Amino acid sequence: MNRHAQSLLLITLGAATGWITLPTGEYLNYVRPGFRIPLLLAAAVLIALGAAGLVRRPAEDAVQDGHGHDGHGHDHSRGPRVAWLLGLPVLVIAVVAPPALGSYMASRGAGRPPAPPADARPYDAVAVSAAPAQMSMGEFIGRAFQAQRGDPAALDGVRVRLTGFAAPRREGGWYLTRMKIACCAGDAVAFRVIVHGVPQPPADRWVQVTGTWRRPPAGTPPTDEQALDATRAVPIPRPEQPYD
């Protein structure tokens, strides 16, 4: 790969990074929203480096022509062939554009969703309302943990609305699932709730489920999977931010 191609590749890589960050928002499939500014800065740096290489190249050629060649037959304008690997991310984005993690990865997750830490701040009681309380999957699981530890006001009898995608359950039935990431898709953990009372949607179908927490039998560990007695499940488009 010559230096001209390297510069063009840097510009292309920077443009692809900027494209998935601003116009399309596809970066949310891979990282948390807080990475938006760092990604844009990285895209700007890559484009600037590539542009600087294109501008500097004609000047270097002119200097070499003025001094003649050393006669050794070496082309110092070429970089290592491994630099072509920089094009792989661009190719992946252009051809396959991996979607957000779904039911396949959730089913391969090791173990159950982690329980909230013992010193977590207790949740306040849910305000009384005719409408269901909109909750994240993490809040629902945390409230269920708290209710099992002796605070039934945290969730008992409260109508909630949860958003996630359907994932089949090995033992039968299905989970409402949403992936939780701390940094990027590589550290994702599945937050999932067993759904009772409504038909199972196709795998990976995004739905909003309304229902009430099903209190597990006495003696069930708080770290066990939580369940929801659902009264309604409505298909929805995939949210712009697919992670919890």
Confidence of residue 107 (pLDDT cuts 50, 70, 90): confident
Residue 178 lies in a domain: yes
Residue 71 lies in a domain: no
Domain of 113, CATH number, reads 2.40.50
Residue 214 lies in a domain: yes
> What distances in angstroms separate CA 24 from CA 7, 169, 207, one per listed residue?
25, 33, 23
Distance between CA atoms of residues 50 and 42, nearest Å: 12
Q: What average pLDDT does this structure show over 155-181? A: 93
Q: What average pLDDT does this structure show over 73-82? A: 57
Q: Is the pLDDT at 78 greater than 80, yes or no?
A: no
- Where is pLDDT greater, at 83 or 164? 164
Which residue segment(s) compose the domain that 180 sits in?
105-235
**Counted domains in the chain:** 2
Question: Whole-angstrom distance between the N-terminal and C-terminal Cα of the chain?
Answer: 43
Residue 75 lies in a domain: no
Confidence of residue 110 (pLDDT cuts 50, 70, 90): very low
Distance between CA atoms of residues 109 and 114, nearest Å: 12
Summary mean pLDDT of the chain: 82
Same-domain pairing of 47 and 167: no
Same-domain pairing of 88 and 155: no
Same-domain pairing of 26 and 8: yes
Considering only 65-79, 83-97, 123-137, which range has the smallest mean pLDDT?
Answer: 65-79
Distance between CA atoms of residues 164 and 141, nearest Å: 13
The two tokens of residue 210 are: 């309304």
Residue 34 lies in a domain: yes
Residue 70 lies in a domain: no
Residue 218 lies in a domain: yes
Q: What percent of the chain has pLDDT over 70?
A: 80
Same-domain pairing of 90 and 121: no
Q: What average pLDDT does this structure show over 50-59? A: 78
The two tokens of residue 141 are: 């699981």
One-letter amino acid of 125: A
Confidence of residue 166 (pLDDT cuts 50, 70, 90): very high
Q: Is the pLDDT at 34 greater than 70, yes or no?
A: yes
- Where is pLDDT greater, at 231 or 221? 231
Distance between CA atoms of residues 166 and 91, nearest Å: 30
Same-domain pairing of 135 and 224: yes
Confidence of residue 111 (pLDDT cuts 50, 70, 90): very low
Same-domain pairing of 128 and 92: no
Provide the sign of the torsion angle of the four alpha carbons 233, 238, 243, 244, taken in this order. negative
Does this model's pTM top 0.85? My answer is: no
- Where is pLDDT greater, at 208 or 10? 208
The two tokens of residue 56 are: 């500097």
Question: What pLDDT does 48 receive?
Answer: 93
Question: What pLDDT does 82 receive?
Answer: 67
Same-domain pairing of 219 and 198: yes
Q: What average pLDDT does this structure show over 196-222? A: 91
Same-domain pairing of 125 and 51: no
Question: What pLDDT does 214 receive?
Answer: 93
Same-domain pairing of 194 and 109: yes
Same-domain pairing of 146 and 32: no
Residue the block writes with tokens 């409505």: 234
- Where is pLDDT greater, at 157 or 87? 157
Question: What pLDDT does 220 receive?
Answer: 76
Q: What average pLDDT does this structure show over 142-158? A: 83
Q: Is the pLDDT at 225 greater than 70, yes or no?
A: yes
Distance between CA atoms of residues 160 and 142, nearest Å: 13
Same-domain pairing of 127 and 86: no
The two tokens of residue 200 are: 């199972």
